[in-house]
Amino acid sequence: MQATDHKKRWVVKIGSALITADRVGLNLDNIKAWSEQFAALMKDGVELVLVSSGSIAEGMHRLRWKERPTALHELQAAAATGQMGLVKAYETELQKHGRNTAQILLTHDDLSNRKRYLNAKSTLGTLLNLGVLPVINENDTVTTDEIRVGDNDNLAALVANLISADQLIILTDQQGLFDKDPNKHADARLITHATAGDQSLLTMAGPSTNKLAIGGMRTKILAAERAARSGTHTVIASGRESDVLLRLHKGESIGTHIKATHKKLVAHKLWLANQLKARGTVIVDDGALEKLQAGECSLLPVGVTNIEGEFRRGELVSICSATGLEVARGLVNYNATEATLLIGCHSDRISERLGYVHEPELINRDNIVTVGDE
């Protein structure tokens, strides 16, 4: 991850522990310091997108709430109130350096709807070309459990996929990923280099201890795996390190560097892979399973043994083995009722079962992404 001559594109995510002042409102000194680094990087040709936590914490401060609420409507109220201060803080500091900022609020629906996904991609690309720093957060004001991305680590990874970023930098209050909990083990060793998708990393990652944060180190490891789908490398580093972004830009080894080794997915399949919530499940037999895992294969009704859940034509479904292992996901050509009637059916007999034919495949290969591709 050494500095190169080509223009870099980075997504930087800043966590709640760094953005708040002793968990009370925003840490304006930190925001000032990061903004100085953002401006210096942009001047040096780095295209930046910022995913920043802090809206709910700032909202709690403004509303004089001592504990993070659990009720959805109260979380939404806090986010709506705090988002004003969060964006204003970044805008104020970046304008001192002659840089404009833009606010973008996203939900999972924005990324799962193909048209809105492409619109978001186009908007971000235009802002980067104009030298504007987009500040992104989940749209907590309107999100429900059904449309939540879930945490800002995951959101940052999705944004990295969206813009094909070279690097995702996750700034946290930890030095990086350790082989054991450094708060409990004096001999804990910092993992300086790792590979995305290495399952042993998850065994090292523990839960968050910050009451204002949603995710812990585990979510950051999973975010690195997701970012790797678009060939994006990830760095997990301490935001308390002085000039951490500038030093990373110079090639200094700070924190945990997680290398992306996956084959980059084509745009359409990258979008499919980034749809987090499947609407139903299609269980397949061993023959279909083998063909799907080999890649470049449509799923025919004859290879289906069971249908679970409710879904409409064109929605995303999970494709699983008889043991429940997810092997792929894809956009289905028939709704759940139709698909159930087609279990084990040869394609030339679909009309006999339904009285009509949408497509000869339950899921076309162009609309399937295997778990191995990710």
Quick check: 336 and 282 in contact, CB under 8 A? Answer: no
Quick check: 167 and 1 in contact, CB under 8 A? Answer: yes
For residue 11, is pLDDT > 70?
Answer: yes
Q: What pLDDT digit, counting tens, does each position of 270-286 carry?
A: 777 766 578 899 999 99
Question: What is the reported pTM?
Answer: 0.76
pLDDT of residue 150: 60
For residue 145, is pLDDT > 80?
Answer: no
Q: What pLDDT digit, counting tens, does each position of 329-370 carry?
A: 888 999 999 999 999 999 999 999 999 998 899 998 888 888
Q: Could you give the 3-state DSSP secondary structure of residue 139?
A: coil
Residue 252 banded pLDDT, cuts 50, 70, 90: very high
For residue 161, is pLDDT > 90?
Answer: no
Count of CB atoms within 10 A of residue 323's CB?
A: 7
Quick check: 207 and 64 in contact, CB under 8 A? Answer: no
Quick check: 221 and 158 in contact, CB under 8 A? Answer: no
Instruction: Give the range with max mean pLDDT: 140-144, 195-199, 317-321.
Output: 317-321
Instruction: Give the range with max mean pLDDT: 21-35, 126-140, 241-255.
Output: 241-255
Buried b / exposed e across 342-352, counting CB within 10 Å, b at 16+?
bbebebeebee
Q: Could you give the 3-state DSSP secondary structure of residue 40?
A: helix
pLDDT of residue 352: 93
Count of CB atoms within 10 A of residue 167's CB?
A: 21
Quick check: 245 and 12 in contact, CB under 8 A? Answer: yes
CA 49/CA 159 separation, integer angstroms: 8
| Domains with residue ranges and CATH for the chain | 9-269 (3.40.1160.10), 278-373 (2.30.130.10)
Average pLDDT over residues 166-186: 88
Q: Which amino acid is at 248?
A: L
Q: What pLDDT digit, counting tens, does each position of 25-79 carry?
A: 899 999 999 999 999 999 999 999 999 988 888 999 999 998 888 888 888 898 8
CA distances from 14 to 6, 148, 155, 369 (A): 25, 19, 12, 31
For residue 165, is pLDDT > 50?
Answer: yes
Token output for 309: 């859940």
CA angle at residue 251 from 246 to 253, to 5 degrees?
Answer: 100
